[in-house]
Amino acid sequence: MNKRRMPEIVLISALGILLITGKTFTSEGDTRHNQEYSGEHSGYNHHGGQHRFKDAEVWAKRFEGPKRDAWQKPDAVIKSLNLKQDTIVADIGSATGYFPVRFARALPKGRVYGIDIEKSMVDYLNERAGREDLPNLSSILGKPDDPKLPEPVDVIFICNTYHHIEDRQFYFEKLKKNLRAGAKLVIVDFIKGKLPVGPPDQMKLAPDEVISELSAVEYHLVQKLEILPYQYVLIFQLVK
C-alpha cells in the first residue's frame, strides 16, 4: 500500500465526464430522465448507455438557475469543504460550470479546472470564464477513462455522477495518480426514495454502497455531511 501525506486542496467536481462505453439511450424512461433531471452531469454513462449533452446553450438553461440552487445549495457545499484561498479545483464532468464558476469565485488565489468529455461543454465553460472574468478557471477536454488533469489535485469533487460510473473500482484506482498527498475525494449524490429531482431509484447508490466500493480501493471515509435535502455528501482520503 502506498503511503501518502496530506497537503492543501485541489478539487474535482464530477458532474459527468465519465463515460466507459459508447452506447446510446433510446428508452422512453431514459429520455424522460434526460429531460427532467435538473442536476448537471454531462456525458455520463449508466447501465450500459450514456447521455450526451452537445448543445451547451440549451443545457445551460436546464443546469443553472434558482430552482436548482434551492436543493443543490452550492454555496453551503463549498463552505462545508473549508477550502483555502489557493486551493486547486478540478471539476470532472463540469458541463456548463455550475460548480466550477462558484469555486473560482470562492478561491481567487487558486486554480479551477472544469473537465468534460463533451467539447461543446468545454468550449462553453471556457467562454463563460472569459465573460465572467474568471482567469483562474479553465475547462479541459477529458477522456472516458482519463480526466486529463494538467497537474495533481488536492480534492476530487464528484457531484451527481458517481452512480453513473461503470467499473468504479478501476476508475478510482487509476485516479490515484492525479491526487496530491492528503487529497480529498468528495462524493455528492442522490439518496434513495421518491424525490422531486434526480435519477430513477434503480440508478441510485446508497451511501454505504459508495463507502464499501471506495474502501476496497483504499479510500477511507473521513466525514459524512447532511446538509442537502435530497443528497448525501461523503468525504474520503486515501489510506495512509
Mind listing the pLDDT tens digit for each residue in 115-159?
Answer: 888 899 999 999 999 999 999 999 999 887 888 999 999 999 999
Q: Does residue 5 lie in a domain region?
A: no
Report whether pLDDT(91) > 50: yes
CA distance 155 to 135: 20
Q: Does residue 15 lie in a domain region?
A: yes
Q: Does residue 4 lie in a domain region?
A: no
Query: What pLDDT band is residue 61 in, cutting at 50, 70 and 90?
Result: low
Instruction: Kindly report the average pLDDT of the chain as a whole number.
Output: 80
Q: Does residue 109 lie in a domain region?
A: yes
Q: Does residue 162 lie in a domain region?
A: yes
Q: Does residue 180 lie in a domain region?
A: yes
pTM: predicted TM-score of the whole model, two decimal places: 0.78
Task: Indicate which CATH number applies to the domain containing 199.
Answer: 3.40.50.150
Total count of domains within the chain: 1
Task: Determine the structural domain holding residue 229 and report its residue range.
Answer: 10-238
Q: Phi/psi of residue 15, each to 5°? A: -95, 0
Q: Does residue 1 lie in a domain region?
A: no
Distance between start and end Cα atoms, the chain: 8
